[in-house]
Structure 1
Amino acid sequence: MEQCEEGYRRMEEPRRYQVLLSTLVYCSLRQGGDLSPPASLSISPDRSQFFKLESLSLSCEVQGNSTGWRVVRNAERGILTECNTDWGKEQGSSCIVSLIPSDSGVYWCESGSGEHSNAVNITVPDGAVILESPALPVTEGDSVTLRCRYKRIPSDLTADFYKDGSLIRTETTGEMTIPAVSKSDEGLYKCTNSKGESPESWMTVTDAGPSPTVPVLSMSPPIPSPAVPVLSMSLPRLLCSLLVGSPYLLVTIILLVKCCRSRTQGDHVEEE
């Protein structure tokens, strides 16, 4: 919230009041953690500065089956008006505005019960130079291009780009690209070229959100080696198994038995 209020304090008069409402509405939503209001304001083209007689389309994108939402604006202090009254023309679900300087102001969607969407600030200067910058919040990591335009036509005039009153870059092509915006890029921007100076516009940068959760592999415990079975058998059966399984051992035992018998018989003969 303090960062948003600081941007408002740095803004030159008389645009402070116009930007105050849109900035504080957005900041209050973010401060309260409500980043998913029941409706959101969509604008086309998505930029905050326009030349006179350029066309702007605004519409309320409503979640669910909610009805009764309308596009409203605050172009003068304390005076709220809605599309199709003394400004704009309804075409289907959109409000089309052929812009003139008096259309500068804060726009948002509002329901009959007083709920509101995000708010954006639209500026239609009397001068011949505008800065094309996003009116809606951009997300961290997005690529954003700012263009310094002169009299509604693409211009390759060398332009100086300023953020929060300080020169940040000079581009001979008249446009400046931020490949991946971050929170540090949020602030007030304007541009100047040989034809004049644009008004200032606030660019809001929102968090990209939590990184996708890396799935944790569920490793099954290793299958234990089968236990070596413990032989349970009697001594005679064990000896039989050994004898049958080893012919060499069997022959050896037979020879030992014969040898023992021969010696026993010899001893008997000597005694007789």
Structure 2
Amino acid sequence: MEGTSVQMLLALSSLLCCTTNQIGVTVSPSRSQFFEGESVILNCEDDSSAGWTLRRNTTEETRTQCGPEWGSEGGLSCEISYLFTEDSGVYWCESRGGGASSMVVNISVSGGSVILQSPVLPVMEGHDLTLSCQSKTPPSNPSAAFYKDGSLIRTEPTGHMTLQHVSRSDEGLYKCHIRDHGESPSSWISVSERPSTTVAPTTTEAPPPASAPLHLVLRVCLHLVVISPFIISTLLLVSLCPQRASGSDPSVSMVMTQHSHAEQGLAEDYDDIITSGTTEHQF
């Protein structure tokens, strides 16, 4: 009987999920299973001026509104102060004109002593999913066995189980069992697709400015090439014909004097080039 009811509620949920999701539904406390006699508040999260109301489908009712037959309506919220097992079903927000609906949430009310605490909204791919098995009266041994689609997943000594980095294959019907206390109802857990991320185009940065203009470097190299023969010839003359304090050859002195004047002129040109280049670089 329980399996048939769950399948029917899931079928209703799949029919309603195709409507436009304009607003969200929040459940407080945030879980999908409750003990009989507990209370719950459902809210329509809406920032617009449009009117919204809570509706539900259960095994006893079809598309009924909060207020006239169940719950206490107050603005965009609906409170059920005392839950019965007949309140199990799918709940959603709908515009008063009937033109749009939100996503649906599944709520199960257990008349037994064990419930499964699970997220009321879908879990995003890649996130962790934590399930807790709770007993109405504190058990002497909190160890709980967790099942998916009727098959045992594992037994946790603490009564809590975490599935890391869930994927779409983790969707299914989950329930738990505590020895000597009983089994929880089954709850369908959905896994939503991770939103795609758009990679921003990379910008090409301009290369850093050169430390000195290229033409200045070329001019310096050219003058070094020109001045090199004079330097070499001067060194040769000095090594072959060393000057003395007296009696030096006038022709040699004249040649060396000419080379010295040439070198001095080139050195002055070189200094002018460096000075102009430095000034140019600063501006």
Q: Scaled by the length of structure 1, what TM-score is found?
A: 0.72
C-alpha separation between the residues in 2 aligned to 1:112 and 1:90?
A: 14
**Which of 159, 183, 188 is 2:173 aligned to?**
188
Within 5 Å, which residues of 2 pair with 1:102-141?
102-114=86-98, 115-141=100-126
Equivalent residue of 1:168, what SS? strand
- Partner letter of residue 68 of structure 2? T
CA contact (8 A) 1:144 1:179 kept: yes
Alpha-carbon spacing, 1:92–1:176, altered in 2? closer, same or farther (3 Å)? same
Do residues 172 (structure 1) and 161 (structure 2) align? no
C-alpha separation between the residues in 2 aligned to 1:149 and 1:257?
A: 112
Alpha-carbon spacing, 1:23–1:45, altered in 2? closer, same or farther (3 Å)? farther
- Partner letter of residue 160 of structure 1? A
CA contact (8 A) 1:73 1:81 kept: yes
Equivalent residue of 1:71, what SS? strand
Gaps of 5+ in 2: 238-249, 256-283
C-alpha separation between the residues in 1 aligned to 2:41 and 2:138?
A: 20
Alpha-carbon spacing, 1:24–1:166, altered in 2? closer, same or farther (3 Å)? farther
Number of aligned residues: 232
Do residues 218 (structure 1) and 233 (structure 2) align? no
Q: CA deviation at 1:228?
A: 3.1
Q: CA deviation at 1:189?
A: 0.4
1:148 equivalent in structure 2: 133
Within 5 Å, which residues of 2 pair with 1:43-62?
43-62=27-46
**Which of 58, 71, 94 is 1:75 aligned to?**
58
CA contact (8 A) 2:52 2:76 kept: no
Alpha-carbon spacing, 1:54–1:153, altered in 2? closer, same or farther (3 Å)? farther
Alpha-carbon spacing, 1:153–1:141, altered in 2? closer, same or farther (3 Å)? farther
Instruction: Tell me the alpha carbon deviations over residues 181-225 of structure 1, each in whole angstroms, 9 at most, x when there is no partner.
Output: 332222110111222221211111112323473773533235466
C-alpha separation between the residues in 2 aligned to 1:155 and 1:70?
A: 43
C-alpha separation between the residues in 2 aligned to 1:153 and 1:93?
A: 36
**Kindly, what percent of the aligned residue pairs are identical?**
43
Q: Scaled by the length of structure 2, what TM-score is found?
A: 0.69
Alpha-carbon spacing, 1:251–1:105, altered in 2? closer, same or farther (3 Å)? closer
2:9 equivalent in structure 1: 18
Q: CA RMSD in A?
A: 3.4
